[in-house]
Amino acid sequence: MQTKIEKIDMLLQFALLAAGEEDDRFDRQLGPIHLIKYVYLADLHYSQSHQGKTFTGVDWRFYHFGAWSETVHSRIEPALKAIKASQYKFESDFGKDDWVRWEAQDGKRLQDLSEKLPLAITGKLKRQVHQYTKNTTELLHLTYGTPPLLNAAPNEYLDFSVEDVDAQAGESDLRISSLSNKKTKTFKKNMQELRSLYQKKHSQRKRKKLVNPAPNSRQDDVLEKGIRWLESLSGEEFSEEKIVAEFDEDVWKSLTRKGHDVSG
């Protein structure tokens, strides 16, 4: 039976080796923040088919940059040195700790890890590594939008059993794929008929022609004065000074963070 540390190490190695398949060397180098987020996504994928139970079993928290685990962070160096990954350090633009990047290429080891890790993780995670590689902004945006983070406030532990609309959609696709061949053909035929009907109605719509509201508009002092008067109705011009906006702590638990429509 695999221990928690073994599972974390395998995911860290899998993510880095998956990135190692990229053609561009720049995309093959991952930093700690990228590796931690990929381990988080692996736990998320696993939890969606295991009643909210994660693969690693670590306690994830909502910290500065979203999902965070000190345990996962502490395993980066030993896990990657175990597969002889190259480590690079660069001077930080912020004058603090140096930036660290890791790189490794080993197709055989990647295949071995793919066979040892759950199928619920490997396919999705590998696609995401190739899609986001080391793009920090997009990767953070992806993880911030996941249900465990949308249902948590800073410093709280993440709950992987919260409802996931995307996972429900996946279950619907799975139910469709489990239909018999005859029912599947009927379903596809009906969907095609609906698409054809929609396209037919759409093509029959007449395009509305736009009419110039002022074909002979005047360009003189009267027009300019009128424009200035209209602009004056909007109030004073915005100042360029910096302001600080403060939000109530309840915003973290608001329905809008979870994607609900609260306009009604």
The domains of the chain are located at 4-170
Coil, helix or strand for 71? helix
Question: What is the pLDDT averaged over residues 187-196?
Answer: 75
Is the distance from CB of 62 to CB of 54 less than 8 angstroms? no
- Can you state the percent helix, strand and coil of the chain, rounding each to 5? 55, 5, 40
Is the pLDDT score of 263 beyond 50? no
Q: pTM value? A: 0.69
pLDDT tens for 17-59 read: 999 999 999 999 999 999 999 999 999 999 999 999 999 999 9
Give the pLDDT band (50/70/90) at residue 178: low
C-alpha to C-alpha distance for 208 and 229, rounded to whole angstroms: 33
